[in-house]
Amino acid sequence: MSIVAIGCNHRSTPLAKLERMTIAPGGLPKALSGLGEAENLSEVVVVSTCNRIEVYAFAERFHGGYQDVREFLARQAGLAPEDVADHLYAHHDTEAVRHLFSVAAGLDSAVVGEHEILGQVRDAWETARVEGTVGSALGGLFRHAVETGKRARTETSIARGIASVSQAAVALAGDRIGGIRGRTVLVIGAGEMAEGTVKSLAKAGAAEVLVANRTWERAVALASACAGVAVPLDQLATALARVDVLVTTTGAQDLILEASDVTGLAAQRDGRDLVIVDVAVPRDVDPAARALPGVTLLDMDDIGAFIDTGLEGRNNEVESVRAIVDAEVDRYHAMVSAREVAPLIGDLRATAEFIRTTELERHAKKLAGLEPAEREAVEALTKGIVNKLLHQPTVRLKDAAGRARGDRLAESLRDLFDL
């Protein structure tokens, strides 16, 4: 069995396909259940964000596991498996571990060093734990991944500056409109992305922040946290007529704003331009709105291009984070090997003890005339011989654990002693 990581992200897949494969938080339990029943997968965790959809699994067979995940993602997207396969990447064992640690550390994000992905990795692990699809293998792996992500942010400056998609969305909107200070902004959504957005808006000096959400209580709570104003969804058109910027962050599976909705606003806006930043995947706003006069529609592709132009300062930290990831991958394998070596050593000693006691029983008649003190001496002598014989192999096996030599020694031990 091996650990596999199979999926696609903002670099491997066009947004139009990526948004069809992503899974909303409410759909994760069903997805985990389906993957958990796949023939070649046992433990399963699904990481689905606005930038990626990845399945981490303990697979009976790599190729069989790959096919199970490919077919699952194809069904999710409503595409033929071969259309999905062109965009998938797949890693197994050490490279799967390295990929997950890199994701948690922010190296694989649209915004290098973003802090949101660490929480998303933790949430994916917790959801799988609640649904019963994660066990000791993936549980230990994801625990270590979270530790790696924390270390990367604590020991380097990778997360300084623009460190999240929400921050990038606000910065991009400000770039297109000549600054956020003094502007009125409407945020649709009340999840983690929306929370990050309103915080960034407040920091950028927005004059007024409006918050709309399907659940009124959550809209009120988020608006209160940023001294903003909650807006009922049935008053969305009125709000859109007066704002300078709209940021959409929902997890809806369908469009919440058609091009016709935006077209009808022109007369109410007195010629003022509207900047829309759609950070949702799937997209919240009809892409056709991009062609409308007076409307600037930006999505995750635009955010990615914007981020790429400002990475120079952060690239200096990338190598430091990669070194942390490499060190943690080695430490993880050492820990796993040590856990695997312990029962092997136990089996070896149990086998030796069985042989010792069996031989003493076989010669019981010859030893029957011994005094109690002499019996104790024979017991101590035979135990001492066994312990001395096993001492050096045990020490060397423990010292080599976590390295290729340790794996070779362990395999040899199993073969030699039939363990």
Residues annotated as catalytic are 50
Q: Which residues contact 108 (CB under 8 A, 6 or more apart)?
A: 9, 52, 99, 102
CA proximity to 168, closest of 14, 51, 329: 51
How many CB atoms lie under 10 A from the CB of residue 270? 8
Give the whole-angstrom CA distance, residue 419 versus residue 415: 7
Please list the alpha-helical segments (H only) found in 300-371.
300-308, 312-362
Q: Which amino acid type is present at position 236?
A: L
Residue 5 and residue 99 in contact, taking contact as beta carbons nearer than 8 Å:
yes
CA proximity to 118, closest of 80, 75, 158, 173: 158
208-232 CB burial, b ≥16 within 10 A, e <16: bbbbbbeeeebbbebbeebebbbbe
- What is the helix, strand, coil percentage profile of the chain, to 5? 60, 15, 25
Give the whole-angstrom CA distance, residue 116 versus residue 131: 23
Per the structure block, which two tokens stand in for 20? Answer: 């069809």
Length of the chain counted residue by residue: 419
Per the structure block, which two tokens stand in for 122? Answer: 């933790």
CA proximity to 143, closest of 93, 95, 97, 90: 97
Give the whole-angstrom CA distance, residue 381 versus residue 41: 50
Give the E-state strand segments of 21-157 in sequence order. Answer: 41-48, 52-59, 89-92
**Where is 259: in which H helix or E strand?**
helix 259-263
CA distance from start to end of the chain = 19
CA proximity to 44, closest of 102, 144, 131, 118: 131
User: Coil, helix or strand for 135?
Assistant: coil
